């Protein structure tokens, strides 16, 4: 009998939008295993408050890995209160060089209301050029839709919600069940 391979988890679209002095991070709720939707109401966007400083974060990838990274980010923020850029760079350095952390498969979008970053396991801390960033299976769809709406009259949350709706219409691993956090 041939051993069947694990079909792999799919899902998640996360978008971050900075506009009008506010930052919104929104994420869908779908988790899929192969071609089957396992859960439609997962919460992939969180509010952290290390040291009383609010930060919002969204994640794509393995949930356990993302929570490990979020815990590490909180510790970095507690050590450097109010310095999201520094904490993000320190997390990315650890993620890139630590043998345990190197195996983690996730990406993060984080914001303190001023800065907006994507943090990757390759050691990257990326700030979007056009105040919109997105990750996950439908990330490119949400990013394109969000960028197209940035010059209009919509506020940050409206841009995020509409971009996520477009991504959900295109990407089979993304649904319209959103978690939205706003800061700023």
φ, ψ dihedrals at 30, nearest 5°:
-90, 135
Select which of 12, 13, 133, 182 is catalytic: 12
Of 22, 19, 23, 26, the C-alpha closest to 44 is 26
Q: What is the pTM of this model?
A: 0.92
| Residue 2 reports pLDDT greater than 60 | no
Q: How far is Cα 134 from Cα 125, in angstroms, rounded to an integer?
A: 14
Tokens of 17: 């939008």
> What is the per-residue pLDDT across 68-107, written as a single tens digit (0 to 9) for each?
899 999 999 999 999 999 999 999 998 888 887 878 788 9
- For residue 57, say whether it is annotated as part of any ligand binding site: no
Catalytic residue flag (residue 97) = no
| Residue 127 reports pLDDT greater than 60 | yes
- For residue 80, say whether it is annotated as part of any ligand binding site: no
pLDDT of residue 1: 47
- For residue 60, say whether it is annotated as part of any ligand binding site: no
């Amino acid at each position: 009998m041939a051993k069947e391979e694990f079909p792999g988890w799919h899902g998640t679209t996360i978008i971050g939008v900075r506009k009008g002095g506010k930052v919104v991070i929104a994420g869908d709720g779908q988790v899929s295993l192969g071609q089957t939707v396992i859960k439609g109401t997962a919460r992939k966007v969180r509010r952290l408050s290390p040291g009383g400083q609010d930060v919002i974060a969204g994640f794509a990838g393995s949930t356990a890995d993302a929570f490990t990274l979020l815990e590490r980010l909180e510790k970095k923020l507690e050590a450097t209160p109010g310095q999201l850029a520094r904490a993000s760079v320190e997390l990315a350095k650890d993620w890139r060089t630590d043998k345990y952390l190197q195996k983690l498969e996730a990406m993060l979008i984080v914001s303190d209301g001023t800065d907006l970053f994507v943090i990757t396991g390759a050691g990257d801390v990326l700030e979007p050029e056009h105040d919109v960033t997105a990750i996950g299976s439908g990330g490119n769809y949400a990013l394109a839709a969000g960028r197209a709406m940035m010059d209009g009259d919509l506020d940050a949350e409206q841009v995020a919600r509409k971009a996520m709706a477009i991504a959900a219409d295109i990407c089979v691993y993304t649904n319209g069940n959103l978690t939205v956090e706003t800061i700023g």
